[in-house]
Amino acid sequence: MHSVDENELAASINEYLGRRAPGFLVVLNAASQRAYGVPYRVLPVRSPSAAYKLLRELYASRANIAAKLLVAAPLSRLGGVAAS
């Protein structure tokens, strides 16, 4: 597996979410900034568990689906591992 720069990964996550879920991205950025002091695009890179926790807080019963789409998919796409 190759090393990916944190900024490159965060930018890719931002691009991925901006194309696929722009409304989610606005909400996630505001909530992430408030709770963790960083925009959401940075959160899954630094702490996937915090990114998932934030999704659970915001989307409760739909958190697993949201996590797959908004955390696992962009990270796995960059890491070459398929999200299951």
> pLDDT, tens digit, for every residue of 31-70?
999 999 999 888 988 898 898 889 888 877 776 776 676 6
Model confidence band, residue 1 (pLDDT cutoffs 50, 70, 90): very low
Which of residues 30 and 79 earns the better pLDDT score? 30
Prediction pTM value:
0.66
Which of residues 50 and 23 earns the better pLDDT score? 50
For 38, which DSSP code?
Answer: S
- Gap between the Cα atoms of 84 and 70, Å rounded: 13
